[in-house]
Amino acid sequence: MFRKLSLVVLIPVCMLTLYLVLVTAEYFYESKQVRKELADRQVGQIKQQLLRMQAIVQSAQALQDIERIEQEVSLATLDMNVMVYILLDANSRIRFANHAVWRDSNAIEVIDGYDVIQHHAVVQSGLASISVNPERLSIQAYYPVEAQYPGATELVYLESDLAPLVAKASTELQQRFMRVWGLGALLLIGFTCVLYYLLIRPFKLLSKSAKHVGTPEFTIQVPWSAAEVLSLQTSLQQVHERLGRAVKQLNDSEQRWLFAVEGSRNGIWDWDLRTGEVFLSDRWKEMIGYLPDELEGAFQTWEARLHPDDKQAVLNCLDEYVSGKTKEFESVHRLLHRDGHYVWVFDRGMLVDWDHLGRPTRMIGIHVDVSESEKNHAAIAELVKQSASGHRMLPEAFMEQLSQYLSQRNRAGYWGALLFVNVDTHDISDSLSTHELERLLSQLGARLSSYFTENIVVAHIEFGNFAFLVKDLAVDAEMAGRRALALATELRQITMRPFHYGEHHFSLVANLGICLLDSVETLAPELVVRRAQLAMEHGKSSEHAGCAFYHPDLARALDPEPSLLNALQRAITDNQLSLMFQPVVDVYGKIESAEVLSRWSLANGEIVPVAQFISLAEQNGLVASLDLNVTERVCQLVKQFRQLGITLPRLTLNISTLSFCQADFIEQFIAVVRSYELDDKQLGVELAESVFLTSKAFVEPRIIQLVEAGIAITLDNFGAGQSALSCLHNYPLTEVKLDVHCAVSLLNDASWNQALIQAVQPFKLPIVAKGVESVQQQQLFTTLGCTHFQGYNIARALSLNDFKQLVCPRPLLRSV
């Protein structure tokens, strides 16, 4: 809304608001100062009065002159601001008072502001106590007097009313500020008018002119204004002129491009993915023996002429590129010639346009005839040969370079590192022959080599094991460690990018060990490699998530059980994971939503703990597949119930932080949801606080995509981490779920839960208490402000059949 406001409204409102804030702040500041000055002045007067009274009382008591004391007390009553003026003995009995009815009474019973403890403290210390009570707008004074005999006066107690003085000063201050505010408002209005004519009005004229830049209707008629506005006017005129020249150059370039294309003898194709229409250049048609007007411009024209042996592989390659699974489309295949024989062509294409939902809409490419050129055949054969061998450095050559670096690095003074990378090929060894597997690893070596500079030496030293010698990392160990860890993270991401080999698609998992190399210690190359290998083995453990540094006390860590990892992959692929549903209800017991939970039981009946198989999936790159699998199954379930006329409550899915941070996960997730055409807010995702505390530039676009797709967003486990209020302020959340440990600590100490709930309440978000296991817990959470509840007191995690019984009306159960 604010982005559409005109400067004509926005600037005056902002200036007036700022002026009001400043004037109001100054008023309250001066009001506070006036009160303080009044109180200080009154306290000074009281001190002088009490000092005089102390001397009079002590002398009068010594002379047994009681009348003199009564006269002084009577004089004190002439001050209209004095409310209480009494002289007390050690028993708090009032000996003299400005009101006769109080005499001989106990001060505790008749004087509200009197404090006997303060009385005795002042008498014992011999030091007067004069304090200002801002709430009662009064001054209280306890002044000690030396008692000359038992039962004599020992304290003067006084209360003086500040309210009349404060009221008078406040009235004068308000009158003065009204005059100042009125004069300032007039000056501000005048300044705003000047600002409109000098700045805002010229900007409006420039904005109107900018809509016609590059067209004959473009004119600039800006009156005299600020130098910056005139400079902008000049720049807009220059843009108009440059745009005109650019359009002419573009037209000229298009003509030259068409000539260059025809001159290069390459065929051009332009495919509209929405309609299936394909532009085929004359040269493209000529390659397969047709005249310019003889072939229909349609996708089937090309598809029908693919060689039967090449067709499926080419279409698969094209589909993978269009769907975003691969980064490029390149293919060498055969097309049917008009005369009946086949010609070899090199086909390369690129997506150039997408719709507002991110779906590709246009693709352009070229065809190159390579069937009649022996030179092209030789080049292709050489490329295949290089791909087979990869950019592999022999182990002997690598060890020689490592030895040379270890012996010469002392002179440089820089830290280096050796990274040992193990690629897990166990899961794909059954699908590929040994030769194909070696070729795949060689392609991985080529991919890794292409990403790094000469400062990094890459070698495939063993089957599935790569070594990276990183030179000149940093001059100190801490920075070298950080950079080595960043490089290791990049290596794992590159390795886990899918490989496409024939009809197969593979995702590899890498474990890394890092051995830092300082400029002092001299080591044998074999020892360095062994240390990095030990770190790699240690990095396979769950707490290191696939990457670890070498240290002297390092012990070999056990490998994750391969059979369990294989079983998890099959369980995801074959939908063997069980889906459980735990309801979330409001304070009236109505089911508002249900959290979808995954459970895994092995064939022998053993139940794998959730934390164990989720950790295994995250360490081995399966968690995104797991999350997408659960998403699709839940969408299918919602669609089935909708076809039966049943609307389920909102189902929320737990999305791993690792999944959320993957480059294309959110797009895949949204594509799955949209394919089932679910209603808005029918599906939700639960994200941990750590997701929102990463870079806002990274998180915000993904959150916006989810919201635009109608996905409800829940902040999960609030209170387990930093409990950052920025998460609640910056993102469009649907609800907040407290961490389950809040319920555990509730009965012993509710202060933490109360603080969390009070922090969320100003954001007007539903607050879900998790792990509620008793009626007492639910009642306490309700008292603290929770609006929704989840836990065993409501319902355990239910199977699909039990969930049906809970949410479906009885007559519908027969048809479910």
Q: What domains does the chain contain, in order, with CATH numbers?
A: 1-207 (3.30.450.20), 265-386 (3.30.450.20), 390-559 (3.30.70.270), 564-807 (3.20.20.450)
Least confident of 483-497, 681-695, 794-808: 483-497
By the 8 A CB rule, do 602 and 609 touch? no
Q: Residue 130: which H helix or E strand, with range?
A: strand 129-133
Q: Residue 621: which H helix or E strand, with range?
A: none
Which amino acid, residue 762?
P
Q: How do residues 568-580 score in pLDDT, each as one tens digit?
A: 888 888 888 999 9
Q: What is the pLDDT of residue 376?
A: 32
Which amino acid, residue 519?
S
Range with top average pLDDT, 244-248, 266-270, 678-682 = 678-682
By the 8 A CB rule, do 772 and 753 touch? no
How far is Cα 623 from Cα 634, in angstroms, rounded to an integer?
Answer: 17
Q: What is the pLDDT of residue 636?
A: 93
pLDDT of 604 above 60? yes
By the 8 A CB rule, do 97 and 85 touch? yes
Q: How many other C-beta atoms lie within 10 A of the C-beta of residue 56?
A: 17
Q: What is the pLDDT of residue 652?
A: 95
Q: What share of the chain is helix, strand, coil (3-state, %, to 5)?
A: 50, 20, 30
Q: Which tokens is 798 given?
A: 């239910």
The DSSP annotation for 360-411 comes to: EEEEEEEEEE-SS-HHHHHHHHHHHHHHHHTTPPPHHHHHHHHHHHHHHGGG
Closest to 323 measured CA to CA, from 270, 273, 277, 278: 273
Closest to 480 measured CA to CA, from 451, 452, 519: 519
- The contacts of residue 387 (CB under 8 Å, 6+ apart) are 439, 442, 443, 446
- Residue 695 CB-density burial (10 A; 0-12 exposed, 13-18 middle, 19+ buried): exposed
How far is Cα 126 from Cα 145, in angstroms, rounded to an integer?
Answer: 8
Average pLDDT over residues 372-381: 34
Closest to 496 measured CA to CA, from 272, 698, 488, 722: 488
- Residue 799 CB-density burial (10 A; 0-12 exposed, 13-18 middle, 19+ buried): middle
- CA angle centred on 390, ends 397 and 464, rounded to 5°: 75
By the 8 A CB rule, do 280 and 297 touch? yes
Greatest extent of the chain over all pairs of C-alpha atoms, in Å: 144
Could you tell me the pLDDT band of residue 717, with boundaries at 50, 70 and 90? confident
By the 8 A CB rule, do 660 and 702 touch? yes
Q: Which tokens is 198 given?
A: 């000098």
- CA angle centred on 419, ends 418 and 425, rounded to 5°: 145
- CA angle centred on 795, ends 791 and 801, rounded to 5°: 135
Instruction: State the chain's mean pLDDT as an integer.
Output: 79
- Phi/psi for 789 (5° steps) reads -140, 150
Chain position carrying tokens 């790094």: 452
How far is Cα 565 from Cα 613, in angstroms, rounded to an integer?
Answer: 9
pLDDT of 378 above 50? no
- Residue 754 CB-density burial (10 A; 0-12 exposed, 13-18 middle, 19+ buried): middle
By the 8 A CB rule, do 742 and 786 touch? no
How far is Cα 485 from Cα 477, in angstroms, rounded to an integer?
Answer: 12
How far is Cα 100 from Cα 92, in angstroms, rounded to an integer?
Answer: 16
Q: How do residues 750-777 score in pLDDT, each as one tens digit?
A: 888 888 888 888 888 999 999 898 889 9
Beta bridge partners of 735: 714
Q: How do residues 88-111 score in pLDDT, each as one tens digit?
A: 888 888 888 888 788 888 888 888
